[in-house]
Chains A and B, each alone.
Chain A
């Protein structure tokens, strides 16, 4: 292993090396390696079941990979607990929204800052004094930086469970931003959204990158969004990296096309429809 020099070369925001994960006999991830450059948007794509969410779960700490390492700005995090990763600037949103449904939008966003707040139990019981100062400062910052930015000021006091799907996704992004992330994992940020909501979300993602300087790693099936936003694309299939590169390069890669559309050339398909039994030829 080569020695890492901190001065000459900045560490990648996220470095995943040789990560392997199995569930019983099912190999979810096999020797997955990639790096995410600071300040970039990297997308992970692949057909259903390719291991995208498993990869996210390894990075955020739900699964412990059987082999490989994960580094966050040079620090090895793969043995850390999820709360510790959160404190070091790793934030994430979920494919199926994972907000706290019984709470208001404002409380959900405030919760994002939990790990960075200092109010102790005694401070909390007394409230007046330290806890109050911290809460009011937090509220002001959330209002100015997050609620205005994501245009959710009209729903700040609404219970999250009562909101439309697209707004809930936006609140989840707001909560992740409140975590003061250095790197943000977005698991299908625009799944199930209509065109207008998707365009709003795309704008927010670009603004987060530009204004907040947050590095973004995302998974999505919306190819238009992925190709427009990403600086770098990684393609997974059956738990392995089958392609990587700039969006345009990946788009034209024949293995990627095959992974999405199925293997085999047009002629062999035509023969199959004609009734020929040439499975051997197809496999070749």
Chain B
């Protein structure tokens, strides 16, 4: 039972976390994540790294689609731009990894600005198709600009190095990927406490009045595209360091749909939703694998039916969330918190 907190200043009322309880929970979570590589097995460390990369990507797409209302099905291609930029810089030039990551993000943002140009005129489905077209073009570039991208074989890159130490295992990369993800999620949350983020939501909710209160539509939409692709580019860059090989097949259209599914399941227009959605969507296939592993004792050919089941469950989850909880996991969490506030007086 945590009824509420009296706040004594407007600054306190504007804070992201509004109670000592929340701060405690956050500290516990960070401590848990920091302790994971010390106690957890490599598989879990690998999985958490992958989740963190997906969290960055999903948060980026949420800024564009969830908050600004511009549907994009080209998000994976922006990850690709980031990954290729990092791979080329690392393998061919050998600049330090922070520079590469930043360059990956900026390159993706630059491409995102171009792809975003039609967004002033086209919306909804039409924009979705335009972004698919952009992603097809980018895939063509990845495949055929062989002198830079290595063509169909792709590029492999040496590990990131920090003070002479090669970050070549998930255990080492964990300390790079998680802080970056944390900082980027915090940045996104901050964004929506200020005029910049509010302008995005205004455009989503009612673009006509947004313009009337002084929000320039094209500039703001492009800004949203740019930030979203920057997040994708950084996620792609981390992805490149994590898997150390980048091919045109690494970033298929289905990955864009994966991110879209993640923010729908998690909660469109909610930072927490993007995070929860990415966690959930990454863990579902793993949970299925685990389930199939258990079943294979009973059912010998369980592995053979794994692939279709995964796809079916993916689809069923999206449809289920659209019907039963359109506001996603974030809304379920919010309801749980409200229940916590009032329990045991009302449930």
Contacts and interface: CB of A to CB of B under 8 A. Distances in A.
A123 B187 CA distance: 10
Given A125-B190, A136-B10, A114 B209 contact: no
A271 interface: no
Given A124-B190, A136-B10, A98 B214 contact: no
B198 A114 contact: yes
Contacts of A116: 214
Contacts of A94: 209
B233 interface: no
A117 B14 CA distance: 17
A121 B227 contact: yes
B197 interface: yes
A101 B223 CA distance: 22
Interface residues of A, number: 45
Interface residues of B, number: 33
B309 interface: no
Contact of B201 (A107, A117, A135, A143): A107
Interface string A86-111: 11000110100011111100010011
B195 interface: yes
A83 B201 contact: no
Contacts of A140: 10
Contacts of B194: 117, 119, 123-124, 127, 131, 134-135
B36 interface: no
Interface in B208-235: 208-216, 223, 227
B199 interface: yes
A26 interface: no
A82 interface: yes
Contacts, number: 114
A121 B213 contact: no
A100 B209 contact: yes
A84 B201 CA distance: 20
B204 interface: yes
Nearest to A172: B209
A82 B211 CA distance: 6
Candidate in B201, B209, B227 with the most chain A CB atoms within 10 angstroms:
B209
Nearest to A103: B201
Nearest to B9: A136
A86 B214 contact: yes
A99 B188 CA distance: 24
Contact of B223 (A62, A87, A121): A121
B208 A125 contact: no
Contacts of B199: 111, 114
A126 B190 contact: yes
Interface in B99-155: none
B70 to A, nearest CB: 15
A100 B202 contact: yes
Interface in A44-101: 60-62, 81-84, 86-87, 91-92, 94, 98-101
11 contacts: A82-B212, A94-B209, A102-B204, A102-B269, A115-B213, A124-B190, A125-B188, A125-B190, A135-B193, A139-B14, A179-B214
What are the 4 A-B residue pairs with the smallest beta carbon separation, nearest first?
A115-B214, A86-B214, A127-B190, A100-B205
